[in-house]
């Protein structure tokens, strides 16, 4: 590739964040709060006096300071496949399949994100991308949605030309790269003029508010951006202190010593003025509620077993909460209690294969290579990982979860979108449709567990080579 995909992604992420800040000023305030919370958390962990100001930029791993995710929703196969081509230029590829019908949404999704450790370290920006499942709409709404989607083009002609160039020539000039960034922003820009009439909008919305959000506008507006924090509980508190319309509670697992997966909270979507098309040619004023700001704290990536245990515990929590009508703090208390079942120390998570890890030689291990006269492989039995860990030659660190938790996203949807239509039952009984999704996408999605497992294996291979071993028994 004759352009740097990681640089393109960073530039795009920065430009998108600036655009969203200018569109939704509360998102800018949220960024400031995250900065404040991170500074306080760092200060606290270092036991500094309050007067000593720490700049999180100086202390946190650099990816924290730029880290964002965003979310968009598209309507057609052409839109989804073109988004895929656009993100590929920035080194973002479809990872994971998310079936949102479970939560009553007629949509399914993937996350476009970098796949290698190197790229993730440079800039982990990812975009959760949903597409409408036309087959889950009632006939009348489906026709309306198709009509509205048919007459829009969410990509500038220049972007489409640049995509062709990039794919054909495998190269873009610096000027073309700059044009690419500015043109790609247009796809995600907010437009307050709807492409449908108020009547049509109401009809779409009655079936599901998200159908209206996807179908009624000339672009695929970014519906939220999400900075990463190191202390989401503090951010939640600061949001409330600052009088932000914060959600009642943080979604995802409870606060733990060893954080897992993802915890998220947000400020509620704003009601924005929209001008709807009028059959007479003028415009009618109305409103739309969809765009918000979110914040996330990322924890460890779980293995399939780990994820199963997580899902199982969460299921119990939700059943008990529903039975007892528990909400807010009562729900949080129950969540915390039930999650005691999930081991909360690093070596247990490792030994029970509940999380993924990256292995590296310890300082002792490095010294061992330098000074060792008898190589490890002279031993009769194959060297086991356990052995190397016990001898302190190899150490490990948890891998960060780079993906999403659709159920907690569901919680976020609910708090933003009010009531849902009767067609919800129909949607909720639908099966996931990975094949259908991949047909719309025009490509396969990568399996996230596979990617983590590959990263883990790669780190172990590097240790093995350094130690000059043929094999490390797992």
**Residues making contact with ligand OOG (CB under 6 A):** 71, 73, 128, 130, 223, 226, 264, 294, 404, 409
Nearer to Ni ion, 231 or 294 (CB): 294
Q: How far is the CB of 260 from Ni ion (least distance, A)?
A: 18
| Chosen from Ni ion, ligand OOG, none, partner binding at 73 (C-beta under 5 to 8 Å by type) | ligand OOG
220-249: contacts with Ni ion (CB under 5 A): 226
Contacts 24+ apart (CB under 8 A), 149-156: 149/75, 149/76, 149/79, 149/215, 151/195, 152/195, 152/218, 154/74, 154/79, 154/187, 154/218, 154/219, 154/220, 155/82, 155/86, 155/186, 155/187, 156/183, 156/186, 156/187
Minimum Å distance from CB 247 to Ni ion? 12
Minimum distance from residue 294 beta carbon to Ni ion (Å): 5
CB closer to ligand OOG, 172 vs 409: 409
Q: Which does 43 bind (CB under 5 to 8 A by kind): Ni ion, ligand OOG, none?
A: none
State the binding partner of 219 from ligand OOG, Ni ion, none, CB within 5 to 8 A by kind. Answer: none
Rounded least distance, CB 263 to ligand OOG, Å: 11
Q: Which of the choices ligand OOG, Ni ion, none does residue 185 contact, using the CB cut-off of 5 to 8 A by kind?
A: none
SS (H, E, C) 85-133: HHHHHCCCEEEEEEEHHHHCCCEEEEEEECCCHHHHHHCCCEEEEEEEC
Tell me which of Ni ion, ligand OOG, none is bound by residue 456, counting a contact when its beta carbon lies within the kind-specific cut-off of 5 to 8 angstroms. none
The answer to whether residues 369 and 360 touch, using CB atoms and an 8 Å cutoff, is: no
Nearest-approach distance from CB 210 to ligand OOG, in angstroms: 7
Nearer to ligand OOG, 73 or 133 (CB): 73
For residue 109, list its beta bridge partners: 98, 130
130 binds, among Ni ion, ligand OOG, none (CB under 5 to 8 A by kind): ligand OOG
**Closer CB to ligand OOG, residue 110 or residue 130?**
130
Instruction: Between 8 and 71, name the residue whose CB sits nearer to ligand OOG.
Output: 71
Q: What residues pair up with 264 in beta bridges, in sequence order?
A: 251, 296
443 contacts 84 by C-beta, under 8 angstroms: yes
Tokens 């200018």 locate to: 22
The residue (of 124 and 343) whose beta carbon lies closer to ligand OOG is: 124
Task: Please give the residues from 290 up to 329 whose contact with Ni ion meets the rule CB under 5 A.
Answer: 294
d(CA 49, CA 138): 61
Task: Say if strands 357-361 and 394-398 run parallel, antiparallel, or are unpaired.
Answer: antiparallel
Residue 291 partner contact from Ni ion, ligand OOG, none using kind-dependent CB cut-offs of 5 to 8 Å: none
Minimum CB separation of residue 264 from ligand OOG in Å reads: 6
| From ligand OOG, Ni ion, none, interface partner of 119 (C-beta below 5 to 8 A by class) | none
Measured distance CA(197)–CA(284) in Å, rounded? 8
Long-range contacts of 394-397 (CB under 8 A, 24+ apart): 394/359, 394/360, 394/361, 394/362, 394/365, 394/463, 395/359, 395/360, 395/361, 395/362, 395/365, 396/350, 396/357, 396/358, 396/359, 396/360, 397/357, 397/358, 397/360
Residue 226 or 338: which CB sits closer to Ni ion? 226
Q: Where are the beta strands (DSSP E) in 375-458?
A: 394-398
- Closest CB to ligand OOG: residue number: 409
* Cα–Cα distance, 54 to 184 (Å, whole number): 36
Of 226 and 400, which CB lies nearer to Ni ion in the complex structure?
A: 226
Least distance in angstroms from the C-beta of 34 to ligand OOG = 15
Span interacting with Ni ion, options 114-122, 198-206, 287-295, 317-325, rule CB under 5 A? 287-295
- Residues near Ni ion, by CB under 5 A: 226, 294
């Amino acid at each position: 590739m004759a352009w740097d995909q990681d640089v393109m992604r960073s530039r795009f992420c920065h430009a998108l964040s600036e655009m969203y800040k200018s569109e939704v000023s509360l998102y800018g305030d949220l960024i400031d709060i995250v900065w404040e919370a991170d500074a306080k958390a760092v200060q606290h962990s270092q036991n500094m006096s309050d007067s000593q100001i720490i700049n999180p930029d100086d202390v946190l791993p650099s990816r924290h300071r730029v880290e964002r995710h965003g979310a968009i929703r598209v309507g057609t196969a052409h839109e989804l496949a073109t988004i895929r081509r656009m993100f590929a230029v920035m080194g973002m590829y479809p990872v994971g399949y998310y079936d949102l019908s479970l939560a009553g949404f007629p949509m399914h999704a993937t996350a476009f994100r970098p796949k290698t450790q190197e790229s993730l370290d440079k800039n982990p920006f990812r975009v959760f991308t949903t597409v409408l499942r036309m087959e889950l709409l009632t006939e009348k709404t489906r026709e309306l949605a198709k009509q509205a989607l048919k007459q829009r083009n969410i990509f500038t002609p220049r972007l489409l030309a640049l995509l062709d160039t990039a794919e054909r020539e495998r190269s873009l000039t610096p000027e073309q790269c700059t044009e690419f960034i500015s043109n790609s922003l247009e796809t995600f820009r907010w437009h307050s003029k709807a492409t449908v009439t108020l009547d049509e909008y109401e009809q779409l919305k009655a079936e599901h508010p998200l159908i209206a959000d996807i179908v009624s506008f000339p672009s695929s507006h970014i519906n939220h951006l999400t900075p990463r924090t190191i202390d989401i509980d503090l951010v939640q508190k600061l949001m409330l202190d600052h009088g932000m319309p914060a959600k009642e509670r943080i979604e995802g697992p409870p606060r733990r010593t060893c954080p897992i997966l993802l915890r998220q909270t947000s400020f509620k979507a704003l009601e924005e003025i929209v001008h709807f098309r009028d059959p007479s040619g003028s415009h009618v004023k109305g409103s739309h509620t969809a765009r918000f700001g979110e914040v996330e704290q990322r924890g460890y990536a779980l293995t399939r077993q780990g994820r199963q245990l997580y899902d199982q515990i969460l299921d119990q929590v939700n059943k008990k909460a529903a039975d007892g009508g528990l909400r807010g703090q009562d729900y949080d208390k129950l969540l915390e209690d039930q999650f005691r079942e999930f081991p909360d120390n690093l070596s247990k998570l490792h030994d029970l294969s509940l999380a993924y890890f990256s292995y590296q030689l310890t300082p002792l291990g490095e010294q061992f290579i330098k000074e060792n006269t008898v190589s490890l492989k002279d031993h009769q039995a194959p060297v086991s990982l356990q052995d190397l860990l016990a001898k302190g030659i190899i150490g490990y660190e948890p891998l960060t979860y780079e993906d999403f938790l659709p159920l907690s996203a569901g919680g976020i949807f609910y708090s933003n979108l009010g009531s849902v239509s009767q067609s919800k039952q129909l949607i909720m009984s639908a099966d996931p449709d990975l094949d259908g999704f991949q047909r719309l996408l025009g490509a396969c999605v990568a399996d996230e567990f596979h990617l983590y497992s590959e990263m883990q294996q790669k780190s172990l291979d590097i240790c093995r080579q350094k130690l000059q071993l043929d094999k490390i028994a797992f």
